[in-house]
Amino acid sequence: MALRPKKRKQPPHLPECIPCVSNTFQYLTDMGSFLHRISGIVGFTLVRKQVYMVAGARYTQNLLGPPHIMDPNMFHTLLMDKHWNMSKNEIKLFENDTSGRRKTPTLGMEHIPTERRHWYNHHLLYAEFLSSAKYTQCLADTFLRLFSERLRAESSHLWTTVSLHEFMKLNMTEAAIKSMFGSKILELNPDLIRTYWEFDEVAGILVWGLPRFLSPHPYAIRDRLHSMTSQMTDYAWQNFDWNGPDVSADWDPYFGSRFSREVARWFRNAGFSDRTASGHTMATLFGLNGNTIPIATWMLMEIIQDPQLSSKVRSEVDQAFVIDETGQRQVDIKQLFGLPLIQSIYIEVLRMHISFNVTREVKKDIFIDGYRIKKGSILQCPSQIAHYDEAAWGHEGHPASAFWAQRHLAEEHVSVASDSKVGMITPNFSMTARPTSFFPFGFGYAMCPGRHFAKREIIMAVAMIIDRFDIEFVNWTHVDGSVSDRSAQNDMKYAGTAGMPPDRDMRIRWKRRW
């Protein structure tokens, strides 16, 4: 990226049948097919906005530019409108804050009082109470306890038939929601999990899709879920004792995690409405489950359908389980996250099943590869294209389009004895991709702050199921339960949004081992 190159030509325009209509309509209604048309850098018009799609490392690296040139805030304020259902006046409070997210304000913005530095204060909450090692582990420990309870409640030592994806959407989601937001939210709203998954189907449509008057259904689902999170917000404020011992607890039943509690307190102290606070809760539900449930499900599907891989994973995962002083079988978290094969499978599934368009607003005229990109334009980089790049990911016999559990392993020769030439080959996890080839959680200035908890949650859920159950694959099914003649593929209606869930379910038989 440069500010003063010699050339001043515009990027090529993506061909369309009806100017300013065809590309926009396909983008808003069929992102999967739209992304298949993208290569290099191409432009199109999206509702009076000039948008440039970039694909390939030489173009993608430009989105790593500093925030005063490549600004992620436009996408976040769009989410505030479409997902949070935040009022226009309160969105303006963020839009008018140009002091940045760092501790030191942007040059020339030093006069803005700290309490009005909304981007910085919001970012600080995430950094301290979500991304930090301490609170990531607190959330992970709570999730592990709650998910273990769900596995004990839902299973027996007799063979039982289960639809895997549906099981994960109910049980893993429940444990995750309680971990983050407490138990009261589900007690107050018994239908919340089902409503959330209805929202999950339309979340992408809400952000980039048609307006309410042309497509009212997604907005109706959003409003229904928002009313549920509003009920939780009101109830928590009415019943939580801010002068009691739980004010600094890692978890409580009303707000849930320390992160959730501190966010609610900050919104109120900063003068934002409870509508905004409950909208933030609703959006966090999507951030909490929109990637983790599909990715954990895909990991299990890939493992279960391959008996050899399943045997290897179980042998590896077994190393991370120990018998504690009470005689109970427990997972050693540190040991679990050091296992190479499970890490490789995690990265491979992220690579194949996350589809997210990293979005930046151009704040100054720039030039990319000689093309002029004007101030106010939108740059988007689809992870789906980068993650399937054959040059970056392909290996002989293992194309980028196919799952390969060992893709992110490197062999290391280890001597049996210091004075011996005899040794053994042991696999090590090896993540060699550049940031421009692998960005399931975004990149640069605005990476997903919950990515550390997400990794722990996913790997713990998969490990608990693999270790606790004997599992047999039965068949693939459609959503209605009828038998499918093919295996699961990415559900492309989620393209460009987040994790792409399987478009088929896996019917399995399982029974408890312990």
> CB–CB of 308/341 below 8 Å?
no
Give the whole-angstrom CA distance, residue 237 versus residue 241: 8
Cα dihedral sign for 31, 34, 40, 42?
Answer: negative
- Chain centroid offset of residue 72 CA: 17
* Feature table: binding site for heme: 448
> CB–CB of 144/491 below 8 Å?
no
Cα dihedral sign for 176, 179, 181, 183?
Answer: positive
CB-based burial of residue 357 (10 Å sphere; 0-12 exposed, 13-18 middle, 19+ buried)? Answer: buried
Strand 378-382 to 49-54 pairing: parallel
Which residues touch 428 (CB under 8 Å, ≥6 apart)? 340, 409, 410, 411, 412
Our CA angle for 478, 483, 488, nearest 5°, is 50
> CB–CB of 135/452 below 8 Å?
no
Our CA angle for 67, 286, 134, nearest 5°, is 70
- The CB-side HSE value for 356 (13 A sphere, CA atoms) comes to 22
Greatest distance between any 2 Cα atoms in the chain: 77
Give the whole-angstrom CA distance, residue 399 versus residue 396: 7
> CB–CB of 16/25 below 8 Å?
no
> CB–CB of 349/295 below 8 Å?
yes
- The token duo for 53 is 């799609």
Cα distances (angstroms) measured from residue 249 to each of 133, 138, 145, 258, 263: 16, 10, 17, 7, 14
Closest CA to 1 of 496, 448, 447, 444: 444
- The CB-side HSE value for 40 (13 A sphere, CA atoms) comes to 10
CB-based burial of residue 139 (10 Å sphere; 0-12 exposed, 13-18 middle, 19+ buried)? Answer: buried
> CB–CB of 58/369 below 8 Å?
yes
Residue 340 Rama label (left phi>0; alpha psi -120 to 50; beta): alpha
* Feature table: binding site: 448
> How many of the other CB atoms lie within 10 Å of CB of 420?
8
Closest CA to 61 of 381, 361, 372: 381
As a three-state string, the secondary structure of 42-77 is EEEEECCEEEEEECCHHHHHHHHCCCCCEECHHHHH
